[in-house]
Amino acid sequence: MKRPRALRRPNFRVADMAQQSVGGFLLAGPFVVTAEVWELAAGMNWVQAAVTAGLVALIGYAALYRADTGRDVDEEPDLVGVPTRFVSLMTVAFGSVLLLALIFDAPHTFLVEGGIGDGAVVATTAKAVAVGAVFSVVGAATADSVF
């Protein structure tokens, strides 16, 4: 059951992205600095990485538009047909993990020092970002919905 329009939250605002960022960074941090995540990513193939990234999108969409009945996907402003709030959520989920990985120099620490070459470092980092984004999207979507 949908709330009357007068009781619904206003459209997507910059403050919503800030809330998403806080939640996304909060849950991304521990997974960026965990060796097991990097080892897992090194063992993943591209199909598994793509399914993981799809899972991130599914979790994010469900959290924004199915679990939170106060939002209507059809009334959200969109960017090329995709709701702006969802685009922001995906940017925060994947971006926070990537940014923290680069700031903490995790690819070098976990991959280069472990003997993985340059080409594999980029690929494994992308896979590790997908794994970390599973957790980051939960924090980002929760912060967006709660606050």
Compute the distance between CA of residue 83 and CA of residue 133 in angstroms, rounded to an integer: 19
Compute the distance between CA of residue 61 and CA of residue 141 in angstroms, rounded to an integer: 9
Compute the distance between CA of residue 123 and CA of residue 41 in angstroms, rounded to an integer: 9
Give the percent of the chain with pLDDT over 70.
Answer: 88
Nearest CA to 64 among 39, 83, 49?
Answer: 83
Question: What does the pLDDT read at residue 34?
Answer: 94
Phi-psi bin for 63: left (phi > 0), alpha (psi -120 to 50), beta? alpha
Burial (CB < 10 A; 0-12, 13-18, 19+), residue 99, is middle
| Residue-wise pLDDT tens digits, 38-95 | 999 999 999 999 999 999 999 999 998 887 777 777 778 888 888 888 999 999 999 9
Report the chain's terminal Cα–Cα distance, integer Å: 21
pTM of structure = 0.84
